[in-house]
Amino acid sequence: MNRKDDHINHALKQTTKANDFDKVRFIHNALSGGRLEDVDLSSQFCENDTSLPIYINAMTGGSEQAAIINIKLAKLANHFNIPMALGSVSAALKDTKWEASFRNVRTHYPNGFLLANLGAEHLPQNAQKALDLIKGDALQIHLNAVQELIMPEGDRDFSQWETNIQALVRQLNVPLIIKEVGFGVSLETALKLKTLGVQHIDVSGRGGTNFSVIENARRTHQYESFNDWGLSTVESLLEMRNIDNMHIYASGGIRGALDIVKALRLGAEMVGLSGYFLHLVTTYDLEEAIEHVATLIDEIRAIFCALGVHNIATLRSVPFILTPDLDYYVKARTKQ
């Protein structure tokens, strides 16, 4: 079976019930004074204006099934004019027969903000090919060492990643986002990325799609140590409060409107959803999927209004508390 199909099928078996977003609580304001019609959800992604603070994060391309999913995602993104990242273009770089499964997204979303995606083992030449294929507006480079180590056929040598990232920063003329794939980004990693010239990080933490579980399901003998590995998205966002001059995006385990607003409150400029959109487009037809996303957006607006804020800037001063274990995490990391 094609690896991308394996990933899609295993990801579809995963559902996220509880995660660290449950450990962040807004303080209710019974006299919020909000007015729904004043709520403005606009933000910036890679320093481009966006009317909504959400995007479809990297998933597919590179199989027949992926091609169908990509077209559905593109139509959904086009309807709401939200940015969309495509799955790793490496499959099309290896075999040109898969190029259309990526290129078709641009056909169905001609004016959209599209992000190409590749692993950090790639050099600028491949990155440019990936961008050209979809007329990409930005590039995501994923850091997925844990996934590769568990993947039976995965890479085992990550020693060139920093050099490659530095070359990408220097040679590309589009914004570059460095992202994880569900294991989070620590302050130390973010500071290192900053020294390499990186200005955009998607923390993509633990709490949603779990690639350890997915890759373990593809192995005969499991590496169980990694099943609970990594920083949650909330932990990563709390770490990112200690870095400046860095654009922070949140993904990993975003289940709905409240998680989106919490991620924005914790400092994310935009919030990416993968598993959510994958389930949506494989469960519903386009019209029903549009209704679900419309409700999601209405609910985000309702939460802003309930909190008495009218935009992301004012949301950033809304009071919240962390449960004791998360609070302990923050204190322990501050002491280090």
Per CB under 6 A, residues contacting ligand FMN are 7-8, 11, 57-59, 87-88, 117, 140, 142, 179, 181-182, 204, 208-209, 251-254, 273-276, 278
Name which of 277 and 305 has its Cβ closer to ligand FMN: 277
Shortest distance (Å) from residue 43 CB to ligand FMN: 18
Distance from C-alpha of 2 to C-alpha of 10, rounded to nearest angstrom: 12
Tokens 């654009």 locate to 247
Name which of 190 and 307 has its Cβ closer to ligand FMN: 190
Name which of 209 and 236 has its Cβ closer to ligand FMN: 209
**Token reading at 142:** 């994923």
Find the residue with minimal CB distance to ligand FMN: 208
**Token reading at 221:** 């003998």
Helices (H), the chain: 3-13, 64-80, 90-94, 99-108, 124-134, 145-150, 161-171, 187-195, 211-217, 233-240, 257-265, 275-283, 286-307, 312-315, 324-335
Name which of 74 and 278 has its Cβ closer to ligand FMN: 278
Name which of 128 and 251 has its Cβ closer to ligand FMN: 251
**Token reading at 255:** 């289940």
Strands 320-322, 24-26: pairing kind: antiparallel
Shortest distance (Å) from residue 282 CB to ligand FMN: 10
Shortest distance (Å) from residue 331 CB to ligand FMN: 27
Shortest distance (Å) from residue 273 CB to ligand FMN: 5
**Token reading at 283:** 């469960």
Shortest distance (Å) from residue 310 CB to ligand FMN: 27
Shortest distance (Å) from residue 105 CB to ligand FMN: 13
| Residue whose C-alpha is closest to residue 101's, from 128, 70, 80 | 70
Strands 320-322, 43-45: pairing kind: unpaired
Tell me the sheet residues that pair with 250.
271
CB atoms closer than 10 angstroms to residue 137:
17
Shortest distance (Å) from residue 298 CB to ligand FMN: 20
Name which of 164 and 209 has its Cβ closer to ligand FMN: 209
Distance from C-alpha of 6 to C-alpha of 215, rounded to nearest angstrom: 9
Name which of 183 and 309 has its Cβ closer to ligand FMN: 183
